[in-house]
Amino acid sequence: MTRPVLNIALIGSGFMGRAHALAFAAADRTFDLPLSPRVTVLADRDLPTATAAAALLGIPNASGDWREAIADASIDMVAIATPNLLHAPIAIAALEAGKAVYCEKPLATTIAESEAMTAAAASGRPTAVGFTYLYNPMIALARELIAEGEIGEVTAFRGIHAEDFMASADAPFNWRCEPDQAGGALADIGSHIIAMAKHLVGDIASVSGRLYTAYPVRRDAQGNDRAVTVDDQMDAVVAFANGATGTLAASWIASGRKMGLAFEISGTKGSISFTQEQFNELKLYRSGPGRTNGFTTICAGPEHGDYGAFCPASGHQIGYNDLKTIEVKAAVEAAAGLPSAAKSFADALAVEKVADAIRRSHREGGWVRP
């Protein structure tokens, strides 16, 4: 039976826009979705850029104006893969036009914009936010193990998102260094580890954080020295609402780390350990006596949720674009009004409030409630 089509306007054709386009196409062929997603128009900063990208990605229509794409009555969903500064105006306009919205993280550049986006979504239109790493089948397994009491009562979460793409003093000033683009390690990659902590352990009740700028001046592409007013690194102590304690860190100057999104969760009966650099594995420790007692490595396999849609054998591994495909599946299910694993604008706002509390703690000193 032919499935109803979900017509999508994709806004942005950079790395993330391309990832969205590939994931929509793959999801339609990988999963039995309630709607068949079709990216029918690609919008970008100008028509030549949009036209070239649309031709490369096999998208039939192009536009140099995102407003034109949203105004199209045939569009059901707007997928936002633009610079952060444009998330709020595009999302709010799309929601007011009655479209479902799928937006990359961070939700917006300010708390006020994030709240406005969430308020616009209160109309009931479905929303989804691109916290890609939460859709890993191994993360789903970790959440199930915690919920089932496999490691007992959670006592601590120690998490970090560490990369090294800004580790050199010669790394140029770019959009990530712009405060009005929600720049800084906390906003750019810290949102991922905050989202992970909340996803696995629960709400964060209070934080005490510190931000650090290793290179207060960087040279831009034109050879000009530019002052850097965003953080290169964030460290925070957190208290969870359920009584557990923890630490969160984000750094883009962590030399040698390429995708060091990692955590260890301790409980009264065991522990769970994970790193995105080996994201097809989860390590589980069960407390008990014995000379050989230690962490057991669990390899991702078809028995672990959506992994089986990609490969029928354990240990063969899935990749980043497969995680994006699973994320798109959740976004499409949300757009169809079905139960979905998608993180909504309200979920993303809660993450932004924790990040904002860390910034306030750095400025004011002491503990701050999100």
- pLDDT score for 289: 87
Distance of CA 290 to the CA centre of its chain: 40
Domain ranges of the chain: 5-133, 137-278+280-318
Torsion angle, alpha carbons of 312, 314, 320, 325, to 10: 30
Predicted confidence at residue 180, as pLDDT, reads 87
* 99-143: pLDDT as tens digits: 999 999 999 999 999 999 999 999 899 999 999 999 999 999 999
Average of pLDDT values for 349-369? 97
Q: How far apart are CA 366 and CA 370, in angstroms?
A: 13
pLDDT at 326: 98
Place of tokens 């703690």: 361
Q: Please name the residues in contact with 103: beta carbons below 8 A apart, sequence gap of 6 or more.
A: 79, 80, 87, 91, 117, 127, 128, 129, 130, 345, 348
Burial of 228 per CB tally in 10 Å (0-12, 13-18, 19+)? buried
What's the one-letter identity of residue 343? K
The two structure tokens encoding residue 145: 């193990």
Mean pLDDT of 81-87: 95
> CA 351, CA 346: separation in Å to the nearest integer?
9
Peptide linkage before 106 cis (omega within 30 of 0): yes
Give pLDDT tens digits for 288-312. 888 889 999 999 999 999 999 999 9
Residue 165's contacts (CB-CB under 8 Å, 6 or more residues apart) are 171, 252
Q: What is the pTM of this model?
A: 0.96
pLDDT of residue 290: 84
Residues 6+ apart with CB under 8 A from 166: 176, 185, 215, 232, 252, 253
> What average pLDDT score do residues 317-323 get?
97
Pick the CATH number of 5-133 from 3.40.630.30, 3.30.750.210, 1.10.390.10, 3.40.50.720: 3.40.50.720
Query: What homologous superfamily is domain 137-278+280-318 in, according to CATH?
Result: Dihydrodipicolinate Reductase; domain 2 (3.30.360.10)
- Calpha distance 12→96 (Å, rounded): 20
Number of Cβ atoms within 10 Å of the Cβ of 60: 11
Share of the chain above pLDDT 70, in %: 100
pLDDT, mean of residues 35-56: 97
Tell me what pLDDT residue 1 has.
61
pLDDT in tens, 151-200: 999 999 999 999 999 999 999 999 899 988 888 999 999 999 999 999 99
